[in-house]
Structure 1
Amino acid sequence: MLPNESRIGLRTWVVLFLVIFPTFFFSSAISGAEPRVAAKKIFMREKVRKMFYHAYNNYMTYAFPHDELKPLTKTFTDSLSELGNLNLEHLPQNYNGSALTLIESLSSLVILGNYSEFERAVIWLSENLTFDVDARIHLFECNIRVLGGLVSAHILATDPTNGLDQGIYKNQLLNLAEDLGRRFLCAFDTPTGLPYAWINLKHGLMENETTETSTSGCGSLILEMGSLSRLTGDPRYEAAALRALRKLWSMRSPLNLLGTTLDVVTGEWLEYSSGIGAGVDSFYEYLIKAHILFGKDEFWDMFKSAYLAVQKYFRHGPWYHEADMRTGKATYWQLTSLQAFWPGLQVLVGDLAAANSSHREFFHVWERFGVLPERYLLDREMLHPTEKYYPLRPELAESTLYLYRATKDPWYIEVGESIVNSLNIYTKVEGGFASIKDVTTMQLEDHQHSFFLAETCKYLYLLFDDSFLVNKNFIFTTEGHPLPVRSDWHEKLPEIYTPTNWTCIKNEKQGKRASAMSLQICPADILSPRRGNYVHGVESICHVPDSRADHRCMSDVECGVESISCRQRSCSIAGYCGLWLYVI
Structure 2
Amino acid sequence: MSRGNRWARSLILLVILPHLCIEIYCSKPDPFAAKKKRMSEKVRQMFYHGYDNYMMHAFPHDELKPLTKTFTNSLSELGNLKLEHLSEKYNGSALTLIESLSSLAILGNHTEFEKGVLWLSENLTFDVDARVNLFECNIRVLGGLVSAHILATDSTNRLTKGTYKSQLLNLATELGERFLPAFNTPTGLPYAWINLKYGVMENETTETSTSGCGSLILEMGALSRLTGDPRFEFAALRALRKLWSMRSSLNLLGTILDVETGEWIEYSSGIGAGVDSFYEYVLKAHLLFGREEMWRMFQLAYIAVQKYFRYGTWYHDSDMRTGRATYWQLTSLQAFWPGLQVLVGDVTAANSSHREFYHVWQKFGLLPERYLLDHQMVHPTERYYPLRPELSESTFYLYQATKDPWYLEVGEAIVDSLNLHTRVEGGFASVRDVTTMELEDHQHSFFLSETCKYLFLLYDDSFLVNKNYVFTTEGHPLPILHSWHERLPEAYIPSNWTSIKGEEPKRASAMSMQICPASMHNCIHGNVQLESVCHIPDARDDHRCLSDEDCGVDSTSCRRRLCSMAGYCGQWRYH
TM-score by length of 1: 0.85
Structure with greater strand share of residues: 2
Of 553, 561, 574, the residue aligned with 1:564 is 553
Residues in 1 aligned to 2:511 and 2:256: alpha-carbon distance in whole angstroms: 35
SS in 2 for 1:270: strand
Aligned residue number for residue 418 of structure 1: 413
Describe the superposition over 1:148-187 as per-residue Cα deviations: whole angstroms up to 9, x where unpaired: 0000000000012323344433510000000000000000
**Deviates most, 170-179 or 147-156:** 170-179
Aligned residue number for residue 196 of structure 2: 201
Aligned residue number for residue 432 of structure 2: 437
In the alignment, does 2:78 pair up with 1:83? yes
Which runs of structure 2 are paired with 1:30-179 in the superposition (5 Å)?
36-179=31-174
Structure 1 counterpart of 2:241, one-letter code? R
Of 564, 579, 583, the residue aligned with 2:571 is 579
Aligned residue number for residue 300 of structure 2: 305
Conserved? CA contact 2:8–2:402, under 8 Å: no
With over 3 angstroms needed to count, the CA separation of the structure-2 counterparts of 1:435 and 1:126, relative to structure 1, is same
Structure 1 counterpart of 2:478, one-letter code? L
Structure 2 counterpart of 1:199, one-letter code? I
SS in 2 for 1:306: helix
SS in 2 for 1:579: strand
In the alignment, does 2:385 pair up with 1:382? no
**Deviates most, 562-571 or 164-173:** 562-571
Of 321, 325, 331, the residue aligned with 1:330 is 325
Of 250, 266, 273, the residue aligned with 1:271 is 266
SS in 2 for 1:174: helix
Describe the superposition over 1:324-356 as per-residue Cα deviations: whole angstroms up to 9, x where unpaired: 000000000000000000000000001011000
Which runs of structure 2 are paired with 1:402-413 in the superposition (5 Å)?
402-413=397-408
Residues in 2 aligned to 1:305 and 1:348: alpha-carbon distance in whole angstroms: 16
Residues in 2 aligned to 1:14 and 1:443: alpha-carbon distance in whole angstroms: 35
With over 3 angstroms needed to count, the CA separation of the structure-2 counterparts of 1:571 and 1:361, relative to structure 1, is closer
Describe the superposition over 1:283-342 as per-residue Cα deviations: whole angstroms up to 9, x where unpaired: 000010000000011000000000000000000011100000000000000000000000
Identify the structure with bigger relative contact order (alpha carbons < 8 Å, sequence gap 6+). 2
In structure 1, stretches of 5+ residues that fail to align are: 1-9, 500-512, 547-554
Which runs of structure 2 are paired with 1:312-323 in the superposition (5 Å)?
312-323=307-318
Residues in 2 aligned to 1:353 and 1:307: alpha-carbon distance in whole angstroms: 15
Q: CA deviation at 1:541?
A: 2.6
In the alignment, does 2:523 pair up with 1:534? no
Aligned residue number for residue 510 of structure 1: none
Residues in 2 aligned to 1:494 and 1:112: alpha-carbon distance in whole angstroms: 41
Conserved? CA contact 2:518–2:534, under 8 Å: no
Residues in 1 aligned to 2:255 and 2:12: alpha-carbon distance in whole angstroms: 42
SS in 2 for 1:121: helix
Conserved? CA contact 2:143–2:472, under 8 Å: yes
Residues in 1 aligned to 2:106 and 2:181: alpha-carbon distance in whole angstroms: 35
Q: CA deviation at 1:91?
A: 1.1
Aligned residue number for residue 254 of structure 1: 249
Residues in 1 aligned to 2:537 and 2:72: alpha-carbon distance in whole angstroms: 50
Q: CA deviation at 1:86?
A: 1.6
Aligned residue number for residue 467 of structure 2: 472
Which runs of structure 2 are paired with 1:360-379 in the superposition (5 Å)?
360-379=355-374
Q: CA deviation at 1:535?
A: 1.3
Aligned residue number for residue 180 of structure 1: 175
Conserved? CA contact 1:308–1:542, under 8 Å: no
Aligned residue number for residue 503 of structure 1: none
SS in 2 for 1:162: coil
With over 3 angstroms needed to count, the CA separation of the structure-2 counterparts of 1:515 and 1:184, relative to structure 1, is farther
Residues in 2 aligned to 1:498 and 1:311: alpha-carbon distance in whole angstroms: 19
With over 3 angstroms needed to count, the CA separation of the structure-2 counterparts of 1:460 and 1:58, relative to structure 1, is same
Conserved? CA contact 1:539–1:564, under 8 Å: no
SS in 1 for 2:571: coil
Structure 2 counterpart of 1:274, one-letter code? S
Deviation above 6 Å: which 4+ runs of structure 1? 13-16, 492-499, 565-572
**Deviates most, 84-93 or 408-417:** 84-93
Residues in 2 aligned to 1:160 and 1:514: alpha-carbon distance in whole angstroms: 27
Conserved? CA contact 1:314–1:323, under 8 Å: yes
Conserved? CA contact 1:278–1:338, under 8 Å: yes
Residues in 2 aligned to 1:137 and 1:15: alpha-carbon distance in whole angstroms: 41
SS in 2 for 1:171: helix
Describe the superposition over 1:459-518 as per-residue Cα deviations: whole angstroms up to 9, x where unpaired: 00000000000000100000000000000000289998899xxxxxxxxxxxxx9675xx
Describe the superposition over 1:224-267 as per-residue Cα deviations: whole angstroms up to 9, x where unpaired: 00000000000000000000000000000000000000000000
Conserved? CA contact 2:349–2:535, under 8 Å: no
In structure 2, stretches of 5+ residues that fail to align are: 14-22, 488-505, 544-549
Residues in 1 aligned to 2:523 and 2:226: alpha-carbon distance in whole angstroms: 32
Q: CA deviation at 1:84?
A: 1.1
SS in 1 for 2:132: strand
Q: CA deviation at 1:525?
A: 5.6
Conserved? CA contact 2:220–2:233, under 8 Å: yes
Structure 2 counterpart of 1:541, one-letter code? C
Residues in 2 aligned to 1:485 and 1:497: alpha-carbon distance in whole angstroms: 18
With over 3 angstroms needed to count, the CA separation of the structure-2 counterparts of 1:539 and 1:132, relative to structure 1, is closer
TM-score by length of 2: 0.86
Residues in 1 aligned to 2:149 and 2:49: alpha-carbon distance in whole angstroms: 25
Q: CA deviation at 1:92?
A: 1.1
Residues in 2 aligned to 1:571 and 1:442: alpha-carbon distance in whole angstroms: 40
Residues in 1 aligned to 2:486 and 2:424: alpha-carbon distance in whole angstroms: 48
Which runs of structure 2 are paired with 1:453-532 in the superposition (5 Å)?
453-491=448-486, 516=516, 521=519
Structure 1 counterpart of 2:529, one-letter code? V
Describe the superposition over 1:22-63 as per-residue Cα deviations: whole angstroms up to 9, x where unpaired: 579x989x999x655111100000000000000000000000
Q: CA deviation at 1:442?
A: 0.3
Q: CA deviation at 1:87?
A: 1.7
Residues in 2 aligned to 1:15 and 1:465: alpha-carbon distance in whole angstroms: 20
**Identity percentage of aligned residues:** 71
SS in 1 for 2:53: helix
**Deviates most, 161-170 or 14-23:** 14-23
Of 354, 360, 364, the residue aligned with 2:349 is 354
SS in 2 for 1:137: strand
Aligned residue number for residue 503 of structure 2: none
Structure 1 counterpart of 2:553, one-letter code? I
Q: CA deviation at 1:401?
A: 0.3
With over 3 angstroms needed to count, the CA separation of the structure-2 counterparts of 1:18 and 1:458, relative to structure 1, is closer
SS in 2 for 1:150: helix
With over 3 angstroms needed to count, the CA separation of the structure-2 counterparts of 1:525 and 1:181, relative to structure 1, is farther
Residues in 1 aligned to 2:70 and 2:95: alpha-carbon distance in whole angstroms: 15
In the alignment, does 2:234 pair up with 1:242? no
SS in 2 for 1:284: helix
Q: CA deviation at 1:543?
A: 2.9
Aligned residue number for residue 207 of structure 2: 212
